[in-house]
């Protein structure tokens, strides 16, 4: 089942075109990895995907998917560094996309939050303050929140930025498990290319005209990959 579609999409920032005439489809259960250098348009691509930036030309359409079925792991913002909030408050807030204007949590949602905290091994931190836990733990809290929101797709923006290699590896493993066990499609932007690719089954290599590879093998054979790693 197709979840979303890019049809001849051009995305631009002010007067500069970042992504030009790009098409692709994403289906349920896919694991798509978006790689590229800094400034190659990865963030712009995500904004387009999330509907936060309308395309200059072309069409981005959610097909078998609603905005409120998306889970998202954004990069941490400045505001969050000293924000007074408990882990529980943050994880629960992922459930809010199911609520109407009256935004109280149901028993089921509270259980879901606990389940996801269990899954990521942060249940002990439930009553800790977000600003007082480590960077890796914070990242897991934000992932747990994203899981509460995700019904069909999980979008991750540099999930392992600032984490050490050992923790990163665990993180990628968790994400792969979510992909397989919950049948949730993954779109992940990352710049540490080798570990990120390990779980993916499709790749977009970002440049002005992004190239879409249906399999990781094809990408590994490509010129873009070799040049990106500095081999050519």
Partner 1 sequence: MFDFAREILQYPFIFKALVVGIFVSFCCAILGVSLVLKRYSMIGDGLSHVGFSALSIAVVMNWAPLLVSIPVVILAAVLLLRLSEKNKMQGDAAIALISASSLAFGIIFVSLANGINADVFGYMFGSILAINQSDVFLSICISSIVLVLFIMSYNKIFLVTFDENFANATGINVRLYNTLLSILTGIMIVVGMRIMGALLVSSLIVFPTLSSVKMCKYFKSVVINSAIISVLSFVTGLFISYIFSIPAGATIVIINLFAFILYSIFGFIKERV
Q: Are 73 and 155 in contact (CB under 8 A)?
A: yes
Nearest distance from residue 145's CB to partner 1, in Å?
7
Q: Which two tokens stand for residue 127?
A: 């009553």
Q: Write the DSSP symbol of residue 86.
A: B
Nearest to 49 by CA among 21, 24, 83: 24
Q: Is 85 in the site for partner 1 (CB under 8 A)?
A: yes
Candidate residues 6, 22, 45, 72; the one interacting with partner 1 per rule CB under 8 A: 72
Applying CB under 8 A, which of residues 36, 48, 71, 199 lies at the interface with partner 1?
Answer: 71
Regarding 231 and contact with partner 1 (CB under 8 A), the answer is: no
Contacting partner 1 within 171-230 (CB under 8 A) = none
Task: Point out which span in 21-29, 69-77, 169-177, 182-190 binds partner 1 (CB under 8 A).
Answer: 69-77
- Comparing CB distances to partner 1, the nearer of 90 and 197 is 90
Give me the sign of the Cα torsion angle 60, 66, 67, 69: negative
Closest distance of CB 84 from partner 1, Å = 5
Question: What is d(CA 155, CA 146) in angstroms, rounded to the nearest whole number?
Answer: 8
Which residues bind to partner 1, rule: CB under 8 A? Answer: 50-52, 66-68, 70-72, 74, 77, 79-80, 82-86, 89-90, 92-94, 96-97, 99, 101-105, 128-129, 132, 145-146, 149, 155
């Amino acid at each position: 089942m197709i979840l979303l579609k890019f049809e001849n999409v051009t995305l631009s920032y002010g007067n500069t075109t970042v992504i030009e005439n790009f098409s692709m489809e994403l289906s349920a259960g896919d694991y798509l990895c978006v790689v590229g250098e800094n400034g190659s348009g990865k963030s712009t691509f995500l904004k387009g995907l999330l509907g936060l930036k309308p395309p200059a030309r072309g069409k981005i359409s959610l097909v078998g998917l609603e905005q409120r079925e998306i889970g998202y792991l954004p990069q941490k913002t400045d505001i969050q560094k000293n924000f007074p909030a408990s882990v529980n408050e943050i994880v629960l807030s992922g459930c809010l996309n199911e609520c109407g204007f009256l935004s109280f949590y149901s028993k089921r949602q509270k259980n879901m939050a606990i389940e996801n905290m269990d899954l990521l091994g942060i249940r002990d931190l439930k009553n800790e303050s977000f600003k007082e836990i480590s960077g890796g733990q914070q990242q897991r809290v934000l992932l747990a929140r994203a899981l509460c929101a995700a019904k069909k797709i999980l979008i991750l923006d540099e999930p392992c930025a600032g984490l050490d290699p050992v923790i990163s590896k665990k993180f990628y493993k968790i994400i792969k498990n979510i992909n397989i066990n919950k049948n949730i499609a993954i779109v992940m932007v990352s710049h540490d290319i080798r570990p990120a690719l390990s779980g993916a089954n499709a790749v977009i290599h970002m440049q002005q005209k992004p190239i879409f590879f249906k399999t990781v093998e094809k990408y590994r054979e490509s010129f873009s990959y070799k040049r990106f790693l500095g081999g050519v």
